[in-house]
Amino acid sequence: MLEKDIERILVDQDEIIEISKRLGKQITEDYQNKKPLIIGLLNGCLPFLAELIKHIDLYCEYELMSVQSYHGGTKSVGNVKITKDLDISVENRHVIIAEDIVDTGRTINVVKDLLLYRGAASVEVVTLLDKPAGRVEPFIPKYIGVTIPKLFVVGFGLDYEGFYRNTPYVGILKESVYNKD
């Protein structure tokens, strides 16, 4: 049903699983003898976080934070607000922030700075999608699933007006979807 609104699939379900395996293996190797704390940024991170952690073979924990950037429809336009904070301390923890997408870089910069300020021993970022052409602030995630062009994408956690987060792939919407009331 939802697929009728999709113009093109950019990353399909099998690719997402392969990406998650690769990133999970890399994280497992890089964090040997550490017990990283993975922090997922709601709401978009959930499908990716759920897939990724299956492939991390370490004593690790995960926690969730909710961060909202203000959007003008399909554009990220500004401020970042923490709408659900962590319940635990990050002091001396090796933190990995899990994101569905890094676009302007605003969200990730705010969260990374906050966690370092709170005393995290290290903070790295794993993102399913990286959109470097969207940056308004410099940021290079350590673990990147796929680099995508400057397009508004939906699916696998990413929404348009709250919908499409539940598709098992990442795609681009048909123009007609934006023209609906």
Ligand X SMILES: Nc1nc2[nH]cnc2c(=O)[nH]1
Binding residue count for ligand X, defined by CB under 6 A: 9
Nearest approach in angstroms of CB 95 to ligand PRP is 16
Between CA 105 and CA 110, with CA 108 as vertex, the angle to 5 degrees is 105
| Among residues 5, 12, 63, 159, the one that binds ligand X under rule CB under 6 A | 159
The nearer residue to ligand X, 62 or 152, going by C-beta atoms, is 152
Decide if 119 contacts 88 (C-beta within 8 A).
no
The item of ligand PRP, ligand X, none sharing an interface with residue 141, based on CB under 5 to 8 Å by kind, is none
Residue 152 touches ligand X, criterion: CB under 6 A:
yes
Residue 167 touches ligand X, criterion: CB under 6 A:
no
**Half-sphere exposure at residue 128, Cβ-oriented, CA atoms within 13 angstroms:** 32
The nearer residue to ligand PRP, 28 or 109, going by C-beta atoms, is 109
| Among residues 6, 39, 101, 114, the one that binds ligand X under rule CB under 6 A | 101
Nearest approach in angstroms of CB 66 to ligand PRP is 7
Residue 11 touches ligand X, criterion: CB under 6 A:
no
Q: Which two tokens stand for residue 1?
A: 């049903």
Judge residue 99's burial from the number of C-beta atoms within 10 Å of its C-beta, 0-12 exposed, 13-18 middle, 19 or more buried: buried
Give Rg (Cα) of the chain.
Answer: 16
Residue 5 touches ligand X, criterion: CB under 6 A:
no
Residue 153 touches ligand X, criterion: CB under 6 A:
yes
Q: Which residues are catalytic?
A: 103
Please count the other Cβ atoms lying within 10 Å of the Cβ belonging to residue 101: 23
Nearest approach in angstroms of CB 35 to ligand PRP is 25
Separation between Cα atoms, residue 97 and residue 13, nearest integer Å: 22
Residue 173 touches ligand X, criterion: CB under 6 A:
no
Residue 44: phi, psi to the nearest 5? Answer: -65, -25
Residue 92: phi, psi to the nearest 5? Answer: 60, 15
- Each residue 55-84 as x (binds ligand X by CB under 6 A) or -, in order, gives ---------------------x--------
